[in-house]
Structure 1
């Protein structure tokens, strides 16, 4: 029988479960041999949903996996996990939280020394948020002061003031089995935000004896409130029910009752002060809290002096209107001071946005949609594909594109557009029903309640994105992550091409937006283009029939000032011969030329050297999808173009000469060199060897590509744009949308060889 059962439970929220299981199954968590889990510790994962199950199964046999359906509550998952446990003690760890390296072993060793009279071991913890980690909790000093290893709660009632986290309580298995019902359903409706705090405090109230271990053995990860589902009225009222049930468990124990009463009144007042409750809900919450405060008021209890005492007295009196007036007066005083400090700056901002602010008072136009792509560079990417489908399926909705003055001259004829800073620009942003972008609109854009913001993104993430860039200085340089998340909070929908992307967007952009797992509309063309299209594109690019076209598309590197060539293209072209043409696509961060702004393109000298027929700079050619359709194979490094190109089921080769530097400076979500879509070259010589033999298209390359396509081309089937328009613009429900075709039933566009036959 193991000493300790660690029961990890819940969904893989924002991918936190991945890190938790990695730490649990690391060598420091294993036995001294390093080859098998410690016999004193077992790990059970009550995995809620497919993502949690898949994540947990990667760690078998070190963990036991109990799959549970999506929507299973934390309380139900804890019960299910405990039913499988065989340890003498149970440690419940939410999947979103963490454990320090070696923490379970330290806990197990301490448990083995406890007397049989102890039911609950209390642990210290640290706190983490999206922007900080390892913050000390206030519990440490309280645990140290408690001192003894075996004590009754009545003798140390202040332990109820410990942060109510079940992860900081380790329960004797026999104790759990005896009180399971009272530790789960009673007092906190299953699934409410107060379910875990109720269980954490109920465990102390029900225990005969408790012990303390003032060592950090748990990490509480606090999710952004903006990433959590809206709190329902019933969930708000459950806070009062939570405390009334706990006070019922306290029974005739004056010291315990007094502490719980103080906690209840303080928590209710804080919940009310935070606001966010609609008026009828706020009034009813105040009424219920007032009744509970009077009903459970200890005999001889006296409120503190000062403002806090006034608040508590008004609560006991049920004086809702006077309490609101007191809060309003206090807020007015604070707001006046703040306005005086920032008035000048805000006045300038408001004057600059005069037309936009005035337009915000006009009704939203349900037939107006604003589109933008790549920081206002023109009609491109997912927004362009959505706009095209919109013209076909909902032609009454008028699209307006936001473009810079420089890019306006390059727009397709007849494209209605606005330039940032103009009067009409502010008007359309203020009144459009739909705002579609593959990056973000400016911080000053207001999210109107009846407007719809669709974030389409512009790639599948290999590199770290959003708040995941914070630990990487080269990637995080100049980024304001708080401002970023405020922009993210305006999203209603976030588009995804595969479940990997969905999961990474959840962790990189923690907010409440709805994920549309529909595929990327820009990739529809890879299933709708025909042989005529492929031939026409190659003809425009000057690629003669029968010549092999290699598309080389390197990505941007945060640690380089501009495009630093990682290949000697002249030497490569010479080695590949006359029958191969290199299409070289520089990253769009370099302003359409394969070099930094204002600099000479590294390709210029090659063209002057007479190799123009074999090396073609297509950095300014749009759309990039045409280049993919024209190419026989793609050579890239870490660019997300590889995920799009994989839809064509054509050969891909990875040139990863600086992989170690790239992943250390930018951060990545998976090891591309181990999970590549084809052969991987670490040097130019290796790349040349691949391209001058059949290695680029042999059976091994095809097998790697098939695995890659199954993972990353999950939702792309040629109808992504239609699904987006029907769901977002026409309001159709999920069941009525075109289903995603299985991969084996899709037919990509013909490759150049097929198109020429």
Structure 2
């Protein structure tokens, strides 16, 4: 009996089935079977081209989705069933990840919940909103009564893997063409569920114009769906209440956005009203504000009043929008006048503006340059751009301006030097006698700039025309290696000069001494002699929030008392709830997501574990072990785009699973001769210009105007001495 049966079902809509089966055939798994319930000739012919990798069950045109699923399940022999619509997709290697998670589960679990991507005809690889809920569930086996929030997951059957015995026991209740009904019913009927907070399904939304028109009866069926589901939850108060909330929300959303004819809308509202009143839990309280009013009117069946309320709300929003727009125009006019007035003043050759990471504070390459500027050119005054909420965190005595203020625009207008590792605002006027230095903040593995255009998940929300207008204002672009210089030329095509000087933030990896390393480790609470492993994963464009891709508690247990895990989440997730909250006090897992500067964490760590983060290029300067955990490399490469194959050119051993990572870290594989050879090749390529004097070269060239020949030459990689390792600093 195979562990997993992937049951692909349906017609070959828009030839999506071909890509789905190609991806499965490219990476066949020994303990997984693929059954294709092929509806129609095109699906049958397509599936036939993929034998013997798949079993083909031909079904006639017009076979419903429910019937195709049932037929496929009857043919399947696996312990678990993953139903995948033929129009949908499976991200590369996701089936392997699912199978590994299933192998860990006991027979007491009926449903495994997955995260997913969303794609439409115009964009692909968009994140779902399910990640934080799945992260909250963790890896424990749960009863729905204790985790009713899981009902709020997107109701897709493709994100539920069902135990085959569970499917057979409830086949009649789960066999329906209403897929959301089946997805929710699977949760309600399960004794216990488990989560896999990784991307393992792609939900492809077809253009509505290619689908049959929605009939009135299909509209009304939404209410019937929740009526029957609430019957399943009748004696489960917590579950019932959440499901009722979902019903009311979906009914109001469908009524508001459905674009129904008047007679259909009136009947839908009536049916939803009856259900909302009849099914309302005892003691249930409506929310406050406009949402509470909407629900009250729905329960009253007050169709006319609800329409009037909608009209009044639209009018109020229009008025507020007009007022806000007027205020914005007035504020913009005042700001523009102030800025234009300041632009008429002479440029101040003694004034430099610094910013980093969207005005978060004193950090990264700009911070290292500013520090060296104070040493070599103290006559130039630095002013930092910092948001109001981060101003309180600045080092004492740091001169700063808050974006949008009068002094902010005056400073931007008159500064002779503009230094940033991301972007200044589009409205910035680049004066001919001012110098704009773009320092960047990492070596690119992932696609950047205009190279993101073919990757919608990465490019969503980007205005490439505005990006290039900002790039055209650069005078200098800083680079740490030849690879980066070439990639910046493709990602940011313009006439700037590349400064192949190294990244100033990495100077500390050659200037820090044993005392510095002991002091950092003491601040972090790392006792002498203990191994510190820094785990620093990167952001994923296709995930809604940060979901740790490792069971950190289990990893810490396996590594033992002598190892401390320093866990640093990506700064993109600084405003969201940390999934590490319950682990912080264990002593062996330290959440360092808010610790700055990150360079100190690298100095404190005996080894780095990362995935695709640019931190690996910086940490390589220390010539300490690096382990790559790449459980979703194929998905990342496909949705984000990369400049080279990290799997073939990694800085050390590569783990594709948690077990592999644990095996590397509990043996000498993390620091053996093979790892050292891989790291040496990586250092030669990517630490090319980093030698401890990058900031000095920048200040002498950009701020003091010295020519290239007078700058400190770059020391070859083999002749450099990095900061001592922690065991050497003891």
TM-score interval, smaller chain = 0.5 to 0.7
Which one of the candidate residues 440, 443, 453 is aligned to 1:470? 453
Offset at residue 354 of structure 1 (A): 1.8
Matched, 1:533 2:516: yes
1:497 alignment counterpart: 480
Offset at residue 744 of structure 1 (A): 1.2
Matched, 1:402 2:379: no
Matched, 1:384 2:371: no
Offset at residue 745 of structure 1 (A): 1.1
For 1:548 and 1:409, locate their aligned partners in 2 and report how far apart those are by CA, in whole Å. 34
Offset at residue 543 of structure 1 (A): 0.1
Offset at residue 606 of structure 1 (A): 1.5
For 2:331 and 2:411, locate their aligned partners in 1 and report how far apart those are by CA, in whole Å. 22
Where in structure 2 are the equivalents of 1:303-342 lying within 5 Å?
Answer: none
2:690 alignment counterpart: 716
Preserved contact between residue 625 and residue 676 of structure 2 (Cα < 8 Å) = yes
For 1:694 and 1:649, locate their aligned partners in 2 and report how far apart those are by CA, in whole Å. 16
Offset at residue 565 of structure 1 (A): 1.1
Matched, 1:691 2:665: yes
1:195-247 deviation line (CA, Å, top 9, x unaligned): xxxxxxxxxxxxxxxxxxxxxxxxxxxxxxxxxxxxxxxxxxxxxxxxxxxxx
For 1:461 and 1:634, locate their aligned partners in 2 and report how far apart those are by CA, in whole Å. 18
1:148-176 deviation line (CA, Å, top 9, x unaligned): xxxxxxxxxxxxxxxxxxxxxxxxxxxxx
Matched, 1:675 2:675: no
Offset at residue 356 of structure 1 (A): 1.2
For 1:675 and 1:580, locate their aligned partners in 2 and report how far apart those are by CA, in whole Å. 27
For 1:348 and 1:714, locate their aligned partners in 2 and report how far apart those are by CA, in whole Å. 47
Q: How many residues align?
A: 406
Matched, 1:645 2:619: yes
Matched, 1:632 2:632: no
For 1:709 and 1:625, locate their aligned partners in 2 and report how far apart those are by CA, in whole Å. 17
Preserved contact between residue 479 and residue 498 of structure 2 (Cα < 8 Å) = yes
2:409 alignment counterpart: 426
Structure 1 pair 566/402, CA: closer, same or farther in 2 (3 Å)? same
Matched, 1:605 2:582: yes
1:510 is paired with a residue of what secondary structure?
coil
2:550 is paired with a residue of what secondary structure?
coil
Matched, 1:517 2:500: yes
Matched, 1:577 2:554: no
Structure 1 pair 349/634, CA: closer, same or farther in 2 (3 Å)? same
Offset at residue 348 of structure 1 (A): 7.0
1:17 alignment counterpart: none
1:544 alignment counterpart: 527
Offset at residue 347 of structure 1 (A): 8.2
2:120 alignment counterpart: none
For 1:508 and 1:529, locate their aligned partners in 2 and report how far apart those are by CA, in whole Å. 33
Structure 1 pair 588/344, CA: closer, same or farther in 2 (3 Å)? closer
Structure 1 pair 346/511, CA: closer, same or farther in 2 (3 Å)? farther
Offset at residue 578 of structure 1 (A): 0.3
1:679-722 deviation line (CA, Å, top 9, x unaligned): 00000000000000000000000000000000000000000000
1:412 alignment counterpart: 395
Matched, 1:747 2:721: yes
Offset at residue 351 of structure 1 (A): 3.3
For 1:498 and 1:578, locate their aligned partners in 2 and report how far apart those are by CA, in whole Å. 39
Offset at residue 564 of structure 1 (A): 1.0
Preserved contact between residue 485 and residue 500 of structure 2 (Cα < 8 Å) = yes
Matched, 1:656 2:630: yes
1:366-398 deviation line (CA, Å, top 9, x unaligned): 000000000000000000000000000000000
Offset at residue 539 of structure 1 (A): 0.4
For 1:701 and 1:655, locate their aligned partners in 2 and report how far apart those are by CA, in whole Å. 14
2:708 alignment counterpart: 734
2:373 is paired with a residue of what secondary structure?
helix
Offset at residue 470 of structure 1 (A): 0.1
For 2:563 and 2:556, locate their aligned partners in 1 and report how far apart those are by CA, in whole Å. 8
For 1:354 and 1:631, locate their aligned partners in 2 and report how far apart those are by CA, in whole Å. 51
1:134 alignment counterpart: none
Offset at residue 344 of structure 1 (A): 13
2:538 is paired with a residue of what secondary structure?
coil
For 2:433 and 2:415, locate their aligned partners in 1 and report how far apart those are by CA, in whole Å. 10
2:418 is paired with a residue of what secondary structure?
strand
Unmatched runs of 5 consecutive residues or more in structure 1: 1-342, 592-596
Where in structure 2 are the equivalents of 1:547-558 lying within 5 Å?
Answer: 547-558=530-541
2:432 is paired with a residue of what secondary structure?
coil
Structure 1 pair 420/345, CA: closer, same or farther in 2 (3 Å)? closer
Preserved contact between residue 545 and residue 576 of structure 2 (Cα < 8 Å) = no
Structure 1 pair 683/598, CA: closer, same or farther in 2 (3 Å)? closer
Preserved contact between residue 610 and residue 629 of structure 2 (Cα < 8 Å) = yes
1:190 alignment counterpart: none
For 2:576 and 2:554, locate their aligned partners in 1 and report how far apart those are by CA, in whole Å. 26
Offset at residue 349 of structure 1 (A): 3.9
For 2:338 and 2:521, locate their aligned partners in 1 and report how far apart those are by CA, in whole Å. 47
Offset at residue 350 of structure 1 (A): 3.6
1:96 alignment counterpart: none
1:108 alignment counterpart: none
For 2:473 and 2:332, locate their aligned partners in 1 and report how far apart those are by CA, in whole Å. 20
TM-score (norm 2): 0.55
1:516 is paired with a residue of what secondary structure?
strand
1:565 is paired with a residue of what secondary structure?
coil
Unmatched runs of 5 consecutive residues or more in structure 2: 1-325
1:549-604 deviation line (CA, Å, top 9, x unaligned): 0000000000001101100000000000000000000101112xxxxx243x1110
For 1:492 and 1:347, locate their aligned partners in 2 and report how far apart those are by CA, in whole Å. 33
2:283 alignment counterpart: none
2:638 is paired with a residue of what secondary structure?
helix
